Amino acid sequence: MSGTYRALGMMSGTSMDGIDLAVMETDGEGLVTAGKTAFRPYREEERALIRKSLEEARVVGHRAERTPAMAAAEAAITRAHEDLVRTFLDESGLAPQEIDVIGFHGQTLFHAPERRLTVQIGDARALARALGIDVVTDMRVADVEAGGEGAPLVPVYHRALVASAELSRPVAIVNIGGVANATWIGAGENDLIAFDTGPGNALMDDFIARRTGAAMDSGGALAAKGRVDEALLSRWLDNPYFSRRPPKSLDRDAFACEGLDLLSTEDGLATLAAFTAETIARGLALLPRSPELIVVVGGGARNPTLLDHLSRRSGIDVRTADAVGWAADFVEAQAFAYLAVRSLKGLPLTFPGTTGAPSPMTGGVLMEA
C-alpha cells in the first residue's frame, strides 16, 4: 500500500443524534482530499439503549467491562455503524476492498481521565469482520493511560485543515457538539493548544426535549425570543473548570445548571446559549494570544443565536466552517478517518498541548478484517 490511503471515518458524538461518516484520501499529514459524507440518525430505541447505559457506565472500573445494558447498546450501535457503511458503499458504488481503513470512534459513555478511564462502546472486531475492512479503534486509550486527558483528539486534523485554508493566525477552531472544544493554532507548526471549553448543545437539547419534546432549538429560534438571566448565568459560571488552564476535558453531563427549570422555555434556552458562548469566550481568553478568527464547526454552527452570543461575548470575528469551505457537520468524521491513517503510520494523535500527554503520542488499536 502506498503512503496515501482511502480512509472512512465515523463519529457518533455526545449529542447522540446519530452517526456521521466521511471518506477521504490522505497520507495522514498534509495531503487531505475530502470525499463523500453520510449521516444515519440513531433510531429511538437505539438512543434509549445508549441513555440507559450512560447511567450504568458510571460504575464500571475498566473500559472493557460491560453491564447488560451496555452490552445491548454496544451490539445495537455496532449494527448501526455496519448498516451505515453498507448503505454508503452501495450508494457510492464502492466495494469494501476500495476502503483501506475505517476510523471508528464508537459512542462515549463515560469519560474520567483523572481515573485514567474513558469508556467507548462499539465492537471494532465484529465491524471489521462483518465488513471485510480493517478498523482502527480505541484512539483515546493510550493517551489516557499515559496520564493525558484522552480528548480532544480532533486538533491534529484541525491543524491540517487550517494549513490548507491559509487562514490568518492565531485562529481558533471551535467545535460545538454536545460538549464544546477549542483548538488554538498559532504561527508555528507546533503551536497547538486544545481543550474542552464547557457545554455545547447538549444542555439546550436536553432542556427543550423536557419542555416541548423537540430534539433541538432549530436555528436557535426560541433562544432568540428569550432574555438571558444574567444572575443565573453568573452562578453557573462560578465553576473552577472555566478558569482552569488547559489541558482539560469533560464528560457529557458535567454541568447541572441549578435554577434552569424555573425559567420559561425561551429564557432558559437564551440563558443556556449564553452559557455555552460565554464559556467558549472565557476558554479562549486563557490562550497565549487572542485568536484573530473563530471558525465554528459541529452542529452549533447551525444556530445563529448561539453564534451571535459568541461573537458579542468573545469580541472576535466568528465564521462558520461552511463559510471557509469546510463541511461543518462532518469535520469530526473526517478527523477519525485522518487519525486512523496516522495510527497506521505510527504518527502522533495527541500532544502535550492538546491533551497533556507527556510527549507526542500515537494511539489506536488495529482490528484486521
Ligand X SMILES: CC(=O)N[C@H]1[C@@H]2OC[C@@H](O2)[C@@H](O)[C@@H]1O[C@H](C)C(=O)O
Options 181, 320, 334, 350; binder of ligand X; rule CB under 6 A: 181
Name the 3-class secondary structure at 200. coil
Q: Copy the grid coordinates of residue 337.
A: 478517518
C-beta of 186: minimal distance to ligand X in Å? 19
Options 122, 148, 152, 247; binder of ligand X; rule CB under 6 A: 152
**Between residues 218 and 359, which has the closer beta carbon with respect to ligand ATP?**
218
Which helix (DSSP H) or strand (DSSP E) does residue 136 occupy?
strand 135-137
Name the 3-class secondary structure at 123. coil
Q: Is the CB of residue 101 less than 8 Å from the CB of residue 85?
A: no
152 binds, among ligand X, ligand ATP, none (CB under 5 to 8 A by kind): ligand X
**Between residues 29 and 266, which has the closer beta carbon with respect to ligand ATP?**
266
Alpha helices by DSSP H, 110-201: 124-131, 141-145, 155-165
Contact mark string toward ligand ATP, 277..306, x via CB under 6 A: ---------------------xxx-xx---
Alpha-carbon gap, residue 284 to 226, rounded angstroms: 26
Q: Is the CB of residue 178 less than 8 Å from the CB of residue 200?
A: yes
154 makes contact with ligand X (CB under 6 A): yes
355 binds, among ligand X, ligand ATP, none (CB under 5 to 8 A by kind): none
> 358: cis peptide before it, omega within 30°?
no
Which of positions 206-245 make contact with ligand ATP (CB under 6 A)? 216-220
276 makes contact with ligand X (CB under 6 A): no
Q: Is 17 annotated as a binding residue?
A: yes
Alpha-carbon gap, residue 302 to 299, rounded angstroms: 6
Options 46, 196, 205, 267; binder of ligand X; rule CB under 6 A: 196
13 makes contact with ligand X (CB under 6 A): yes
Q: Which stretch binds ligand ATP (CB under 6 A): 130-138, 173-181, 319-327, 340-348?
A: 173-181
Q: Which stretch binds ligand X (CB under 6 A): 122-130, 171-179, 257-265, 302-310?
A: 171-179
C-beta of 75: minimal distance to ligand X in Å? 20
Q: Which of 6, 2, 78 is nearest to 334 (CA)?
A: 6
Burial class for 68, CB neighbours closer than 10 Å (0-12, 13-18, 19+): exposed
201 makes contact with ligand ATP (CB under 6 A): yes
111 binds, among ligand X, ligand ATP, none (CB under 5 to 8 A by kind): ligand X
Q: Which stretch binds ligand X (CB under 6 A): 16-24, 129-137, 176-184, 232-240?
A: 176-184
| Largest CA-CA distance found in the chain, in angstroms, rounded | 60
151 makes contact with ligand X (CB under 6 A): yes
Provide CB contacts within 8 A for 328, sequence distance 6+: 296, 297, 298, 301, 302, 320, 321, 322
Contact mark string toward ligand X, 301..340, x via CB under 6 A: -------------------------------x--------
Residue with cell 487572542: 290
Provide CB contacts within 8 A for 173, sequence distance 6+: 155, 158, 161, 162, 182, 183, 185, 294, 295, 297
Q: Which residues are annotated as a binding site for ATP?
A: 13-20
Provide the binding-site residues for ligand X, judged by CB under 6 A. Answer: 13-14, 108, 111, 118, 151-154, 177-179, 181, 196, 249, 332
Annotated binding site: 13-20
